[in-house]
Structure formats: structure tokens, C-alpha cells
Structure 1
Amino acid sequence: MSDFDRESDDVVAVPDSTSVEYNPFDEQTLADPIGTHRRLREGCPVHRFDAFDPPFFTLSRYDDVVSALRDTETFSSRHGQGPRHTPEGGLFSDPPAHTAFRRLLQRAFTPRAVADMEPFVAGLADDLLARLVGAGRGDLHAEFASPLPTITIATMLGIPPDDHSRFKEWSDALAADLVATDRETHRSVWRDLRAYLDEHIEARRDALERDDDLSDDLISALVTAEDEDASLSSAEIFGVIVQLLVGGNETTTSLITNAVVRLLEQPDLLQRVRADLSLIDVVIEESLRFDAPVLGLFRTTTCPIEKHGVEIPEDAKVMLLYASANHDDAEFDEPDVFSLDRPPQEARRHVGFGAGPHFCLGAPLARLEAREALRAIVSGLPGLRFDGEHERVAPFYLWGRRSLPVAWDRPDTEGEPNRRSGSTTE
């Protein structure tokens, strides 16, 4: 019997897939996913949502979500990881095709490659913070947490600095397009981004034909990449870049802002981190568990499957709720408590980055960016506090803040924010 089919002795199967009212697009659900997900786990672990085209199912328990993520033969990514069926391509595929694409990209995200990015990310975090310090107040999302990952991934791709703001606009639009009811809304975004990237791709191909030295960036690496004597087409490179943009910008921004929100809600935790910056890594893992930046992604069934008395048909879209899995009390002790004292072996079981073959490729980079961002914020903004209401990001499958107004104590004299000394500012 597989993990996916195993029922615990004390759980009664619920054959009605609509026994709990659940609308992932409802304002109350968007405002309080933790409470909504708890009701799903307890009363309707396999939910069918009919008010979307196509209707989709939702899995909410930890064991079910993790098992599905690892079972690519039954829960396929070939038709995309959104609620609609999309063409197969790039990372949105299954092994062995997915394995080949991932191998081509892996070199940019190896531990050594990410370590090489650390000075750049640390310097960028300090530069962004230096622009804020004297003001005494600002939107931490717009002025810090959002530009940091955008500039980082754009720099890795080899995009000129003057175009970084356009890249952020494009990546936000692409994330929204995943669930847009009107598919024409963002068609111009796809067209503009495709034309822009094709220009960069072709420029590198021309340089390659002239035997010119290519710059050391990710677009150049994709242009020259070969796997089993097969190179990537411009369309495949475009698809990979889009997946990196959607998967790497807003999610890392949300990781940063989510962590700051929880620390500001519990000032004693913020003081502990100020006194011991090594706790930042603990904050990051607990934030990924408690506030998964991606609430969940979708798979498509390749055959009928029954779970908890509910039959999910072939070719059905199924949402795997990472955020709900991370709050499953069958897996985590006091899951609805944000704690810096959670045992490491338990904390690392979170699925904030997914699991299985599609485990987030950029996870090491996201952790690095969050680490340097929180270091700069905690060390460089004394007296940090809320300065107004913070707003939720729009896409229903993401969890983060699109605005985070904060205030802090302005320094008596202008100076550089603390870098790595571990000293506090209060």
C-alpha cells in the first residue's frame, strides 16, 4: 500500500468532496488561509471546487500533499502547475524531460554558484537599505523586498539595469495571468516580454557565431547549453526564463515580508534575533513553514484515483495545498504557532518549496536573498514597527504582502547599516 492510499486509524473517510464550503477565491479565504485550510483537513481532505473552468480538486493534508508531489506518474506537471491545462514545456514537464531541463539550469543554482552570489546580494541589500534609513518610514515591500530579488534574477540573466523595473512589472503580470478569467488581459505582456527576450537571445546567438566571448550570464548559459547533443530553441529558453521570473520574484519578496510581519507581531522574537543574528536562518525556515509564499500549485491526474472515499477522475486538475500541509498537526507540534524553538528536524519537513522532482530549483538563492535581506533590516532599522495596514498580494495561490508600511527610528547621523558584525543597533 502506498503512502497516498494509507489511512490513519483515527481518521474517518469523508466521501462527500463538497462537505466543507471552500472557495479559494473568496475574500475570507484569502484573508485567513490558515483557518480555512484547517477546516478542509478536518472535514474535507479531498475537496471539489466546481465554480471554476475547469473544476478542480484540492488536497490539504500533509501526507496526501507530499505523496502527490513525489508521484509524478499519477500527478503530472505536463499540463502546467496552474488551474488550467497548458502545453508541456521546460520545467513544466515530467521526468525524464523535466530531468534534462533541470540539469541544464542546475549549474546556475548549485551551492557554489549561489555562494558566489552572496557578495552581490549582500551589497544590494545594504544599498537598498541605505536609501531608506534617513526617511524614518517607508513601504518595505515596494522599496526593499520587491526590488531585491527582481534585480538579482535580472542581473543573473544579464538584463541591463535600466530594464529591471520593466522586468518586475512583467513578472507580476505573468503571475496574475496564471488565474486570470480573461486570458486577453495580459496578452500584450507575453508579446512584449517575448520580443524583448528574443532580442537578447538572438544577440547572444550572433555573438556565438562570430566566436565572440559571451558574457557570464544565465541567458548566455541557456543559449550554449546542450544536453545529449540537443540545444534549446528560443521558445524553450523563453519558457524557462518565464518560469524563473514567476517562480523567483514574488515568492522571495513574500518570504521576506512574511518574516518581517511575524517578527513585528511578536517583538520579543525580534529582540532575540537582534541579539543573535544566527537566528535569521531559523526565522527563514519557520516563515517558509508558517507562511508558505506559495499556498499551493496544481498537478493533472493521469488516471482515476480514489482518496478518502472520493474518486478523482483522469485529467483532473488537483491543487496541492503546501500551506495547509505545513499546518497539519499530524506532522507539526503546535503548527499554528510561529516559533523560533521548533526542533530543526521538524522545521525542515515543511513543503514551502514543494517536494519531489519539482522541488524549487531556486531554493538556495531564495534562502540567501532572505538571509541578507533580514540581516540588513534587523541590523539597520532600529525601532522597526508597523506604520499602517499591510495588504495581501492579489493571486489566490500566493501568500504575501503587496504593501508593508513600516516606520523606524531615524539615525542621529548618517551611516552605513551594519553588515555582518552581529552587533545590534539598539
Structure 2
Amino acid sequence: MTTTVASQHDAESTLAELFAPDTRPDPYPVHRALRTKSPLVTKGGDLVIIANYADCQQVLRDPSVRNDPKLSRLGKDHPERPESLLFLDPPAHTRIRRLVSKAFTPRVIRASQPQIHSIVDDLIEKIASKSEFDVISEFALPLPVRIMCALLGIPVEEFGDFEPAARRLGRVLDFNLVVHNDDLDDAEGARNELMNYLVNLIARRRGNLGDDLLSRLIEVEEEGEVLSEGELLATCVLLMVAGHETTANLIANGVLALLQHPQQREILAADPELGISAADEVLRYDAPIQFVMRIATRDMEVSGTAITPGTAMLVLLAAANRDPERYPDADRFDVARGAADHLAFSAGAHFCLAAALGRAEGAAALSAFAGRVIDPVLVPGSVLYRPNVNLRGIQEMTVTHGGVRLR
């Protein structure tokens, strides 16, 4: 009995450390500790933490595992979610994903490349006129915002109307049923703000349909497909939030890693074709989404640990991505590693729809930063992280430089 209590206390303490504000700049020592104990049973058996690569792959690819928190013993009293792909399971997830996936085909991604590179060049050229710049507001964020606005048909000048709410909504993914967080009530309010914005936008768009994804989804709904108004709104909210925040975090994390590893920056500068490999390495090394939640619906076993139906599983993507069993010298940043099998985009049925677009944006931005910004230097003490645990990202980061190379 003493051993069980001590083990439970140790698990709870380690989990609390992961969510502690002081951990935000560098959560990886905690991930390492959790990985050595994985699978780690906590909350009286209602939650299992999965942190090594092979086990995370197993859980993410198991077709019997579900996403809806209300299916778990921890989440049985959880409030109903709107019809978001993040929390849906088949067949509803399959139906909505099929409709939205048409915006992310290889042909669409290839066609977006000139626009991505044009925006990156514009941002780099604006940096040229300044001796220092904020990486987030002047580089990492504007690229995915402009791409996301074009994708959804949102006027880019209206981004400021919903951006604060989109950032607050990101706290929902810190999962209140794991560690209580008072900020999550505010996140639910932010969801309502975004819904109200979209209701207005959709009303405007109905009379002026275009070639954007929002117009296509409206047409799908009006042509009698099984896409409800709630599903339309929830899908657009997800795209608004995930469509810019995760990619902005990828770019910002990548810039920070390149500043901290100048030799790797030089390697990328000398070979811009390594852009995709560099983006994948950033996703592996410092994942923009740190974990996902999955729910067991049958008796299953993970590395000898029995898991019963209704058990919530916290799948630590960021810990798995630094598993030395999968990646030799896993804590080393290497732009030529080519780690395309990382789990930053999840795996299985819920593999990120926009993975190829995020990779393309990250590759273009990181290659341009490495190759064109001369002698960039991180201003000491300028890196400030947002409070989010899961959508972990940098809020401010100042860099000085010696100019910008011509294209």
C-alpha cells in the first residue's frame, strides 16, 4: 500500500511539474523523466501517460482508440464540445475530414508555393530596414496568418478582430481534466467570440461565394451534404486557430534553434534544399503541439501495462520525438536528420490535415532566415513564452542582425 501511494504521489508531482509555468521555456527534462517511467499510471488508474515513441505510435494508430473526452472516466462530466474534428470520432470525423481535406491536396500545396515564397521574401525585405526585429510579430506569425486568411477567405485586415480570441482558445488543449486550469473558462468564452465572428462572416459570404475553403464548405452545406451549421462553425474555428498558431510556433521554434545552433544555421544557409528536413527536425526537436489525449474503448495493453475501457491516455508527442530508442542523440538539433516520421503531426486517423502546408511554410521561412539574414543574434532575455502548455509557443523574441542578403 505504501509503495502504491508513493508511486501515485510521484506521478502526480511529475505531471504537475509539466504544467508548471516555470517549465514552459524547457519542458524536455520533465518529458525525459516521464519517458523513463512510461507508461505511467496516475489519477487512480483513470489516466495513463504514454511517452516513448513505440507506445505512442501504438496508441495513435489503434482504430479502437477514441478522441471524445466524455468517453473517459475522467471526462464523463466534461461539457459537450462543438463538432470539432479534434474531438470527433468516426463516422462523423471521417465525413467532415473528407470534405475539408480537399483544401490540402498535393496539387493545392504545390500551387501555394509561389505565394508562400512571395510572403517570406516580403517579410525578409521589411526586416532589412531595421537593426532589430521581433521574430513573432514580424516574421513567424504574418506568414501563416496571410496563408490561412487566403485559404478561408478571411479579409487579412480582420485578423486583429479575432486573433486575441484565437490565442485564448488555444488553452482548451491544455485539458482541464488532467490539471485544473482556471484560464479554461476564459477559453470557452473565446470560442463564443470566434463563433460570433464566423456567423457574421458566413452571412456575408453566402451572398458572395468565392474559391476559398469557407465558400466551398458553405456550398457543400447548401447542396444537402450532411454538414450542419455547428459542424461548419466548429471546423472553421479549428482552421482559424490551428491554421496559424501551430505554424507560427514551428517557425519561431525553428528560428530560436537556428540561433542557438549557428553551425546548423550555416548548413541550412549553404543548402536551402534542406528546408523540409529542417522543418521536420524543428517539429521533432521542439514540437508546436506537445501532447494529445486519447481514450481506450476496449481492454488493451501498452508495454505490459493493462488499460481498461474509459481510461484516458495522455500521449506525449514531444517526449516521443526525443526518444533515444527511435532517434540516436535525440537531444541534438540536426537540420539534415530527415526525421519525417516524427509524431508532431500525430499519426493514424487524426494525422494533421494541414501537415504538408505547415511543412512548406516552415521550410520556406527557415531557409530564408538562415540564408538571407546576416549575423542574426538573439537579444538576451528577450524570449517570452505564452502560458499555453500544449500549444506551447513564444510570445516575443528579439533578434538583431547585420543586414539582409539580396535574393
Shorter-chain TM range is: 0.7 to 0.9
Of 369, 374, 381, which residue of structure 2 is paired with 1:377? 369
Gaps of 5+ in 1: 1-14, 208-212, 412-416, 420-426
SS at match of 1:249: helix
Q: Is residue 137–residue 407 contact of structure 1 (8 Å, CA) maintained in 2?
A: yes
- The equivalent of 1:359 in structure 2 is 351
Shift, 1:88, TM fit? 6.5
2:380 is paired with a residue of what secondary structure? coil
Amino acid at match of 1:162: E
C-alpha change, 1:63 and 1:228, in structure 2 (3 Å) is farther
Aligned to 1:175, which of 160, 170, 180?
A: 170
Output the CA distance in 1 between the equivalents of 2:187 and 2:142.
22
Q: Are residues 281 and 418 of structure 1, via their aligned partners in 2, closer, same or farther at CA, if it must alter by over 3 Å?
A: farther
Residue identity in the other structure for 1:165: G
Question: What are the within-5 Å matches in structure 2 for residues 186-225 of structure 1?
Answer: 186-205=187-206, 207=207, 214-225=209-220
Q: 2:391 matched to 1:401? A: no
Summarize the alignment of residues 98-137 of structure 1 with structure 2, pairs less than 5 Å apart: 98-137=93-132
Q: How many residues align?
A: 387
Q: Does 1:63 align with 2:76?
A: no
Structure 2's unaligned 5+ residue stretches are 1-5, 175-180
TM-score of the aligned structures, taking structure 2 as reference length = 0.86
Question: Mapping of 1:8-407 within 5 angstroms?
Answer: 16=7, 19-20=10-11, 21-22=13-14, 23=16, 24-48=18-42, 56-73=47-64, 75-79=65-69, 85=78, 86-87=80-81, 89-91=83-85, 92-179=87-174, 180-205=181-206, 207=207, 214-225=209-220, 229-308=224-303, 310-342=305-337, 344=338, 347-389=339-381, 390-407=383-400
For 2:139 and 2:236, the matched residues in 1 are separated by 23
Secondary structure of the residue aligned to 2:295 is strand
Residues 207-245 of structure 1: CA deviation (Å, up to 9, x unaligned) = 3xxxxx621111101111269952422211110011112
Contact kept? 1:150, 1:168, Cα under 8 Å = no
Deviations 1:148-198 (A, max 9, x none): 212211221111122022232222111024444254424443333212211
**Code of the aligned partner of 1:375:** S
Q: Are the aligned partners of 2:82 and 2:234 in contact in 1 as well (CA < 8 Å)? A: no
Task: Please report the RMSD computed on the Cα atoms of aligned residues, expressed in angstroms.
Answer: 2.7
**Structure 1 SS opposite 2:186:** coil
Q: Structure 1 residues 158 and 228, CA, compared in 2 at 3 Å: closer, same or farther? A: closer
- Equivalents in 1 of 2:51, 2:166: separation in Å? 28
> For residue 177 of structure 2, what is the aligned residue in structure 1?
none
Partners of 1:227 and 1:329 lie apart in 2 by: 51
TM-score by structure 1 length?
0.83
Change in Cα spacing, 1:102 to 1:187, as seen in structure 2 (3 Å) is closer
Alpha-carbon distance change, 377 to 341 in structure 1, aligned in 2, over 3 angstroms: closer
